[in-house]
């Protein structure tokens, strides 16, 4: 069974009806059973971006409380791997949140990352393997 890892962009799009990817992510999520997993860094980014959307940060926390979203990653335990990823993709550059998602995909071979970030076409897990993604066209 696939495990779905969600990035900041789709979370923000879901909770901001004015976002151009809102309809896309709603369609995707209608076909997926929760929970979607993510990292605290993604939640932090999303909360910051949603602070400008009325009720946005509260809606984000509601998704966590209802376990639609689940934080399933300990960055402290994975610090050496995160550092190696960020060094490898320094020229992109790779954000800390992206490094967490790439590492999560490495830890679960059946995972699929839901993102709007085209950098995930560049990133590789386990050095050479493309990361399975769901992205808008």
Give the tens place of pLDDT for each residue, 98-115: 999 999 999 999 999 999
Mean pLDDT, the chain, whole residue set: 97
Tell me, what's the pLDDT at 1? 81
DSSP helix/strand/coil, 69: strand
pLDDT bracket for residue 19 (50, 70, 90): very high
pLDDT surpassing 90 at residue 13: yes
pLDDT surpassing 90 at residue 78: yes
pLDDT surpassing 90 at residue 35: yes
| Cβ atoms of 99 and 66 closer than 8 Å | no
Average pLDDT over residues 25-38: 96
Tokens of 56: 């946005």
Q: What percent of the chain has pLDDT over 70?
A: 100
pLDDT surpassing 90 at residue 137: no
Tell me, what's the pLDDT at 56? 97
Tell me, what's the pLDDT at 83? 98
pLDDT surpassing 90 at residue 73: yes
Report which of 3, 10, 23 is spatially closest to residue 114, judged by C-alpha positions.
10
| Cβ atoms of 6 and 37 closer than 8 Å | yes
Pick the CATH number of 3-134 from 3.40.50.1010, 3.30.450.20, 3.40.190.10, 3.90.1640.10: 3.40.50.1010
pLDDT surpassing 90 at residue 127: no
Tokens of 89: 């993709």
pLDDT surpassing 90 at residue 11: yes
Where are the chain's structural domains? 3-134
């Amino acid at each position: 069974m696939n495990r779905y890892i969600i990035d900041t962009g789709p979370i923000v799009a879901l909770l901001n009806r004015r976002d151009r990817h809102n309809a896309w992510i709603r369609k995707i999520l209608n076909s997926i059973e929760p929970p979607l997993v993510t990292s605290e860094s993604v939640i932090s980014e999303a909360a910051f971006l949603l602070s400008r959307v009325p009720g946005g940060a509260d809606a984000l926390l509601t998704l966590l409380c209802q376990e639609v979203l689940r934080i399933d990653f300990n960055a402290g335990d994975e610090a050496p791997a995160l550092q190696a990823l960020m060094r490898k993709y320094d020229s992109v550059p790779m954000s800390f949140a992206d490094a967490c998602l790439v590492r999560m995909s490495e830890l679960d071979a059946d995972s699929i990352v839901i993102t709007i970030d085209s950098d995930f076409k560049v990133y590789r897990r386990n050095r050479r393997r493309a990361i399975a993604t769901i992205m808008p066209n």
